[in-house]
Structure 1
Amino acid sequence: MAETPQNGANEAPAPVKMNVLAQFVRDLSFENILAQKGSAGEVQPDVQVQVNLDAKKRSTEHQYEVVMKLKVESKGKDTDTTLFLLEMDYAGVFHIENVPDEQMHPFLLIECPRMIFPFARRIISDITRDGGFPPLNLEMIDFVALYRNELARRQQAAASGEQKLDA
């Protein structure tokens, strides 16, 4: 006679619960440098986007705050002069349950930013349009690749730090 597993080992894990409780602009800065300096004719823009993510547990149980820090700088391709600079910290407050502890870090830095990014993208589009430029519609960000690149960078930094200590 076959034995059945004890202690609920054959039960399916509880499904992940995630709710976006709030989203907000924590900090926003837009500088139209082209208008301040004056324009010298037609300019071809070169746009650079930097993304940084931060997550922390809040004091309320199962609540986390994720902040997406976006820096968008547009420079003239020919002149390398800055046309505009936009910096925005966009935050989301999430209620998350049933995510294993070892999976919480990637969940917070991949799934949560993925949920709030479309809203941040719309704000950036509106700000650049209202600032006198064509609306900037950012392409979707691959948060999985961003997370993996950051892990690789940290491992490389740790490895080079260990080598320096050994030398």
Structure 2
Amino acid sequence: MAAEAKKEFVIESIWSTSVKFDAITPVHKLMDEWQPAANLDLDVQTEKHGDKHVVKLIISVNVKIKNNEVFNLESTHTAVFNINGYEGDELNQILNSFCPGIIYPYAREKVSSIVSNAGYPPLHLSPVDFDARYRALSETSKAS
């Protein structure tokens, strides 16, 4: 029996790749009580470069109070992982679920900091279950 391939998972680096922040209604022009409605969109993109995997977590947030747009934020957070010994569905799940779950806490902190530095009350993004998100997306793509 052939020896099973050695499995390896190493986080090489994590950083913020890009940030775009549009303050549509500056804080000093807000007339309504601060009870925002935030729309959060997440996207995960993966690329393979040699023996390394690059995973990008793209966060888009649109904040409104009543029908007035307050701000839009789009930020991309990138990580490089050295992943060996995983293939097929297992590798796909690692790249699209486990890796974004590692990046997300860094991204949450960055988003909160950007919003606070713009003078708005902090925006605390809720935790995300990337495993459930991955399963739902996988089922949707299989059904199409």
The two structures share one fold, judged by TM-score above 0.5: yes
**Whole-angstrom distance in 2 between the partners of 1:152 and 1:37:** 45
1:18 lines up with 2:5 in the alignment: no
**Residue identity opposite 2:56 in structure 1:** V
Gaps of 5+ in 1: 1-6, 159-167
CA deviation string 1:93-123 (max 9, x = no partner): 1001121333111110111111111111110
**Whole-angstrom distance in 1 between the partners of 2:112 and 2:27:** 21
Between Structure 1 and Structure 2, the one with more strand by share is: 2
Q: How does the TM-score come out when normalised to structure 1? A: 0.78
Moved more, 118-127 or 16-25: 16-25
Shift of 1:15: 5.4
Shift of 1:54: 0.9
**Residue identity opposite 2:127 in structure 1:** M
Shift of 1:135: 1.4
**Residue identity opposite 2:85 in structure 1:** N
CA deviation string 1:139-164 (max 9, x = no partner): 211001111121222233x2xxxxxx
Match of 2:76 in 1: 89
Any residues of structure 2 matched to 1:37-76 within 5 Å, and which? Answer: 38-58=29-49, 60-61=50-51, 63-76=52-65
**Whole-angstrom distance in 1 between the partners of 2:60 and 2:107:** 12
**Residue identity opposite 1:95 in structure 2:** N
1:124 lines up with 2:111 in the alignment: yes
**Whole-angstrom distance in 2 between the partners of 1:129 and 1:143:** 26
- The structure 2 residue matched to 1:102, chosen from 61, 76, 89, is 89
**Whole-angstrom distance in 2 between the partners of 1:49 and 1:29:** 15
**Whole-angstrom distance in 1 between the partners of 2:106 and 2:132:** 20
User: What percent identity do the matched residue pairs reach?
Assistant: 24
Q: Is the 8 A contact 2:27 2:120 kept in 1?
A: no
**Residue identity opposite 2:118 in structure 1:** G
The 3 A distance-change label for structure 1 pair 81 and 37 is farther
